[in-house]
Structures are given as C-alpha cells and as structure tokens.
Structure 1
Amino acid sequence: MSAPLSTASERPTYAAVLRVPHVRRTFAASLVARLPYGTVSLSVMLSVTRATGSYAVAGTVLALFGATAVLLSPLRAALVDRYGPRRALLPMALLYAGALSLLAAVTWRPGAPALLPAALATAAGACAPPLGPTLRALWGGLFDDRRLVKRAYGLDAVAEELTFVAGPLLVGALVRYAPPAAGVALSALLVTAGTIAFVTSPAVPGVRPSAERPSRSKGRLRGARGLVEPVLVAGGVGLAVGALDLLVMAFAEQRRYGDDIVAWVLAALSAGSAAGGLLNGAVEWRGSPRVRLPLLGAGLGLAVAAAGFAPGLGVLAVTVICAGLFIAPALTTSYLLADESAPEGSRTQAGAWVNTAVNAGMAGGSAAVGALLGRLPLGWCFAVSGGVTLTAAMAALAAAAPARRR
C-alpha cells in the first residue's frame, strides 16, 4: 500500500476523515456494497416463504445462508489478506451476486422446490465478500494519526448501523410494487456495483507482488492473544442484540402492543447505537481501550438486564436506547484492538473474527432466548441475557490482565 494519505496536522474530526483524498469515494462505495447486509435477509425470507409456501423452509434457507456467511468469514478474509482486495473481493462478489440472482429467479413465482433455494442460499453465503473487515483493515494505512483512525472506525460503525435501518425500509417500499424476489435481485446489483467501485478506488491496494504476500504461517493468527478480548466482548454484544430482538417482541405481545411498536423500539436501539458511536469517536478517551472495552460490554449487559424491570413501553424504550449507547462504541473499540493485535498481513482476518463473533452471538442469543421464553418469566429472560453479556465482558477483562502487566 502507498504511504498514508493524511497528515498529523489535520484536526481529528469526522470532517477531517472525509477530507483525506479518496476516502469519500472508498467509504461510499463500501456502503453501497454493504447495504445488502440490511436488505438480503428480509428479502430472502419473504421470497422463499412466498415461493414455497412454508415458513419452516424459509427459516432453514435463511439459517443456511447465515451459517455459511458467518462461519466461512475468516477464511474469505484470509484470501483478501493473501491476494489483496482487488484480486480476492471481486470474484467473491460476482459469485455471491450470481447465486443471489439465481435465487431471485427461482423464487420469483410460487412453486419453487425447497432444495434449490436452500442450495443457492448456501452457495451465496459461502461467497459473501468481507467488505467491512477489508475497509477497516485499510483505515490504518490511510491515516498517519491514530486519532483519525479512531474517528474513521466510529464513522464506519455508525454508517453500518444505519444500513440495518435503511435496508428493511428499502425492501418494504420495493415489495409494494414488485415480488419479494426483487429485493434479492436488488441485493445482488448493489453488492456488484459497490464492490467494483470499491476495488477500483485509488485507496485500495492492487494485486500483491509475490514477494509481499504473507506466508501461510504468517497469514494465520497464531499467537494473536490480543484478539481474545475483542472477540469475547463482540460475541457478548452480538448475543445481547440478538436476544433483544425477541425480548422486545415478547414484551409487546405480553402487553398487547401492535407489531409496529416492536419496529419503533428496535429502531430506538439502532438510534442509541448510532449516537453512542458518534460520541465515542468524538471524545478523547484517556483510559486504555483494553480497560474501556470490557466496561462498555458490562454497561450493555446491565442495561439489557435492567430492561426486564420496565413497567411499560416508555421506560422500555428509554432503557433500550441506553443499551444502544454501548453497542457501537463496544464494536468500534473491538475492531480497533483487533487491528492493533493482528500480525502483519492478517488485519482483514482479525476484523473478520470480530465480525464472526458478533454474528455468532446474535444467532446464539436469538436461539437461547427463543428456548427460554415460555419457560422463564420475561424479566428473568432479560436478566439472563444481560448476565451472559456481562460475564463475557468480565472474562475479557480477565483475559486482558496479563497483557496489561506486560
């Protein structure tokens, strides 16, 4: 990669991040390519349900898509580290988009056999390009001031959060005029266009010369003990978010609120996360991020547990917003620590492991709460979810203690 494109004299603000040459183009392209994060799951669920007439089939297809996307993420990130973003990302994006396009065609009309959508969704998940980890791995090379790197991570966390708000709204508007499979096709188009724009940006390194490629042993994250803390906290954050989706729905159902209320409360969670991310990026923290990260995870766990005591919707919404304030800062700090802990040539993989922890935590949180609801009072379900997140944060604090002593 070329020399950093910023200067230390730049004032460390969000505007200063976007003034660095090529950053606006690269960042915007990555957001277009990552917008399918917010559109594809809902589109797949709706299109497969309509095509097969079965919620069970749709759930299985979505689970296969998510499992391959999450579990193979570190492997795909290793390919990016080894061969460079331009050489690795574009084939992945084209294969991913091709599988989604075929899935859209198969589910456009009712009557699709169950096995075909399942196979195509599995193939799509296996090829999903790790655009988020790749962009975050680039930040350290684009700025020579670590304060600007921190601002960039904060800006990225907030923008990614907003894709999960804008994506479902976009799908909701689209299905008024077209079959749900159109949302799957749109996801394929967005990831293709965004990835092409991303890899052709001057800020993105080209094909690595063979002499610069990391060896296979270096490409593995052996000895990267510093990753334990961010991965643990990220997993706890993901668990809390996955649990809250079902817990808020159960809260609304128990008190006979409408489904639209659930959407508004979960939107409040995203709004709180966005506000927390912007605040975290703007403040010059004096404490060590390795101490701050477990505290952020602990704050989230306590807020989730406290939400179980909410007597009504208003208090629940406020508590959920407070929980959201910890999400983006915890994830931003996790990504920063992962990047700092990664061996040379493995930075994309390090970010992918944090991503994997978040997504696995979300899946685990949803599954665990789904099993607990009906067996425990709702307040206890909130308490258990918050307690597990708090435990993950304390385990991360214990894991970081030897590093601090050294």
Structure 2
Amino acid sequence: MTLPQLSESPLVRHAGLSYFPLAFIARLPFAMMTVGVLTLVVAERGSLTLGGLNSAAAGLGTALAGPLLGAAADRFGQRRTLVPIGLLNAALLGAFPFVVASTVRDLVVLALSVLIGASAPQVAPMSRTRLVAIIRRAVRADRRERVVNGTMAYESAADETVFIVGPFLVGLLATAIAPWLAIAGASVLTLVFVTWFALHPTGRLAPVGQTSKAQAPVRELARFPLLTVVAGALGIGFFFGATLTSLTGFLADDGSGDRAGLLYGVMGIGSAALALASAAFPARFSLRARWLAFGSLLLAAAVTYALARSVPALVVALAMLGCGIGPTLVTQYSLAAKLSPAGRSATTMTMLGSAVVVGQAVASAVTGLVVDRLGADAALALPAVTAAFVVAAGIAHAASAHSAERQPVPA
C-alpha cells in the first residue's frame, strides 16, 4: 500500500500517521519492565531466585491493578488516567536502581517491584480501545468487522515486535554498558512517550455509547466466553516467558546465553509477519477456527522445540513457533473486541494485556527454577505445556460459543 493510499484510510486519517510510531514506542517500557527488573536484581544482589521473584512481583502488581486502570480509563477517560499513572511509574522506575543498590531488605525491593507493575501504563490495550472507537465512528458498518480484524492484526504484530525488542534492548544495554541503564531508559521512555501518547488527540476518544448510563455492569466482564479469551492470553504470556527463559538456559550451558535475544528474534519475525497476514483471512475462516488451527500449529512446533538439542534445530523450531503465535494472539484480541461489554472496552483490552504480562513473569520465574534444578533440557518442554494450555482455552471458548448459539432465543 502506498503512502497516499494509506493516508486515505479512515482509520489512519482520524488517528494521524504519527500516532502509530508513537503508540509503538510508548509500549516499549511495558515490555522492558519484567526482564529489566530481573536483570538488575540479579546483577546487584547476586540471586537468580530473588530476581525471578521480583519479576513475578511486577507481574502480580500488573494483575492486581491493570484491569482497575482499564476501568478508570473507561470511566474517566484515558488522559486523566494515563498522565498521572505514567508519571508515577516513571518515578518508581527511576528510583528502582538506587533502591536495589542500597542496603534495604529484599522485602522492600519486592514491594517496589509490585508498585512498578501496578503503575505500569498499559499502552497496547489503550491503543486498541482508541482505534476500535475510531472504527466504530468513521468506518461503514459493512466494513467494520474486516477493519477491526486488520487493526487487531497490526496491533498484535506491534506487540509481538515489542516483546522481542524490549528484552533484546534490556540485554544489550545490560551487557554493553550497565544493568541499571535498561530500567533508567524505561523510566525516560515512560516519562516522554507515555505522556505524549496520553496527550495525543485520540486520547479524548471514548467508545461509542460510553456513558455512565450506557456502561454495562461489571459482572458482564465475568462471562465465560470472555474469560476463556483472557485465559488464552494468559497462556500466550506463559509461552513467551517459558520460551525465552528456557532458550536462555539452554544456550547458557555452552556459555552463549547472550545470544538468546537474537535467536528469540527468529520467532518474532514469523510471528509479526503471520499476524499481519491474518488480516487477509476470509470471513468463513472464523475466529474460533483460527484459534484452534494456529494454536494447534503452536503446540506442534513447541513439541519440535522440546526435542531440539542443537542451535540449528532450535532456529527451525522457533521459526515454526512464530507462525503459530502471531495469528493466535490476533484472534484473541479480535474476539475480545467482539465480546467487550458496552462501555468496558479499555477494561477488556487491559485484562488481556495484563494476562500476557502476568503469564510472562510467572513462567519466567518457574522456568528459571526448572533450569536450576532439573536442567535446561527439561525446561525446553515447558513451552509445549503452555501451548497445550492455549489450545485448551481455545477449545473451551469454542464449546461455550457453540453452546450459546444452540440456546433458544427468548420469545
């Protein structure tokens, strides 16, 4: 698509071309958070276990506060929510290297990690909410579903890229300069780009019909079909954490653990490409079918990954994994957009975003323990376990949706 054609898109015209690179950079600190905390604590305190606990603590903070931040954005608007929370998060990230390097107890460091996770501005779900709001205002009804699917494809590809680039930046800065620099860099990025994102004109948008009267009750968020999608996103987070940590552990046995980010990028290339390509899938290839198809591909590739015992075999397996993970994540966010209760779009998207981060943090900690106690070869099997979880969530979603379709319509 040429630049003039792109600028003619109603979505791009209303959001502005500058919006997309801004939203991309603004979500980088979120992807750097858990790995940056882990790297800094291990470097300063010399404990891999403590580092894993702090990474998990940041994930716990996100799990506890993320949906609440989404609810606040739904009720008060993104600007009023993102500006203060972004400033708070930047300050906490800036203070973290000093606290870790000081003589304070480990419990204080853990508490600060929880606060960092709790105050993390979740730009990705907020961006999805804004773009869906624009689509519902500016795109004809007969084209909306296709444009929403294409937008979720782009957003998921951006997420995939960020979750590859973020850990890579942390590793690069920690190795080339100092471990504290990654967290300090995340603080600066949050201060500048999250604030800029919050103040962007699209930050004034709210989903169509979102008023205090039109907003669906909170209990609508607990409907089983939507919860299965959240569970699927949690499984994606499990997969990310288990894959990166097991890959690092396997390569570290040969003294080349610093290559993990580069090899991990192989998965990101295929993942982002297939995520974008999913926008061209025909409507008859339903979202439920896509989840099961690409989730199954993910599981098969994860089994191949578990059996790999050489770098070339790992590269092949990672390329296959990318072909499964990208379209699966796109499908989950597209389903979330369809199932979001009225006036609860930011909350719904934040639930998925929180689930991914929580899953990544928990799986990173668990996989690290498996590497330490059972060896890297055993840890290579964990991504297959997480892929099976993703498929199981897809089956549960398909079953619940099928059951709902068979229910008789009230007279």
When structure 1 is superposed on structure 2, of 68-77 and 387-396 the one drifting more is 387-396
Q: Map of 1:127-146 to 2, 5 A cutoff?
A: 127-143=119-135, 144=139, 145-146=143-144
Q: Distance in 2 between matches of 1:45 and 1:136?
A: 28
Match of 2:301 in 1: 303
Q: Distance in 1 between matches of 2:211 and 2:242?
A: 43
The reply on whether 1:114 has 2:113 as its aligned counterpart is: no
Match of 2:343 in 1: 345
Match of 1:86 in 2: 79
The reply on whether 1:123 has 2:121 as its aligned counterpart is: no
1:213-241 deviation digits (Å, cap 9, x = unpaired): 35786245346443134223223323333
Match of 1:405 in 2: 406
Match of 1:104 among 97, 115, 119: 97
Structure 1 pair 110–372 and aligned structure 2 pair: CA distance change class (3 A): closer
Residue identity matched to 1:346: R
Structure 1 pair 319–27 and aligned structure 2 pair: CA distance change class (3 A): same
The Cα of 1:78 is off from its aligned counterpart by 0.8
State the SS of the aligned residue for 2:284: coil
Match of 1:65 in 2: 58
Q: Distance in 2 between matches of 1:175 and 1:246?
A: 17
Match of 1:237 in 2: 236
1:305-355 deviation digits (Å, cap 9, x = unpaired): 232333633233112211111212111111111111111110111112222
On the 8 A contact 1:133/1:348 being kept in 2, the answer is yes
Could you tell me the TM-score, scaled by structure 1's length? 0.83
Match of 2:359 among 358, 361, 380: 361
Q: Distance in 2 between matches of 1:26 and 1:66?
A: 27
On the 8 A contact 1:84/1:207 being kept in 2, the answer is yes
Match of 1:32 in 2: 25
Structure 1 pair 227–385 and aligned structure 2 pair: CA distance change class (3 A): closer
When structure 1 is superposed on structure 2, of 340-349 and 171-180 the one drifting more is 171-180
Q: Distance in 2 between matches of 1:102 and 1:155?
A: 34
The Cα of 1:287 is off from its aligned counterpart by 1.9
1:87-146 deviation digits (Å, cap 9, x = unpaired): 111111111112112223434x56554344333222222211222111111222212132
Identity %: 27
On the 8 A contact 2:267/2:321 being kept in 1, the answer is yes
The Cα of 1:366 is off from its aligned counterpart by 4.1
Q: Which runs of 5+ in 1 are unaligned?
A: 1-9
Q: Map of 1:134-283 to 2, 5 A cutoff?
A: 134-143=126-135, 144=139, 145-146=143-144, 147-175=146-174, 179-205=178-204, 212-213=211-212, 218-222=217-221, 224-252=223-251, 256=254, 258-283=256-281
Residue identity matched to 1:62: S
On the 8 A contact 2:49/2:369 being kept in 1, the answer is no
Structure 1 pair 285–15 and aligned structure 2 pair: CA distance change class (3 A): farther
1:147-194 deviation digits (Å, cap 9, x = unpaired): 222222211211222223333443445446754333222212211222
Match of 2:313 in 1: 315
Match of 1:394 in 2: 395
Residue identity matched to 2:279: G
The Cα of 1:396 is off from its aligned counterpart by 2.7
Residue identity matched to 1:402: S
Q: Distance in 2 between matches of 1:288 and 1:194?
A: 36
1:236-278 deviation digits (Å, cap 9, x = unpaired): 3233332222433454467x47324433332212222112112
Structure 1 pair 214–369 and aligned structure 2 pair: CA distance change class (3 A): farther
When structure 1 is superposed on structure 2, of 57-66 and 168-177 the one drifting more is 168-177
The Cα of 1:284 is off from its aligned counterpart by 3.6
Q: How many residues align?
A: 393
Structure 1 pair 381–152 and aligned structure 2 pair: CA distance change class (3 A): closer
Residue identity matched to 1:104: P
On the 8 A contact 1:81/1:219 being kept in 2, the answer is no
The Cα of 1:77 is off from its aligned counterpart by 0.9
On the 8 A contact 1:289/1:333 being kept in 2, the answer is yes
Q: Distance in 2 between matches of 1:369 and 1:393?
A: 24
Structure 1 pair 309–44 and aligned structure 2 pair: CA distance change class (3 A): closer
Compare the two structures and name the one with the higher helix fraction: 2
When structure 1 is superposed on structure 2, of 174-183 and 261-270 the one drifting more is 174-183
State the SS of the aligned residue for 1:72: helix
On the 8 A contact 1:137/1:347 being kept in 2, the answer is yes
Q: Distance in 2 between matches of 1:389 and 1:216?
A: 30
Q: Which runs of 5+ in 2 are unaligned?
A: none
The Cα of 1:371 is off from its aligned counterpart by 6.0
Could you tell me the TM-score, scaled by structure 2's length? 0.82
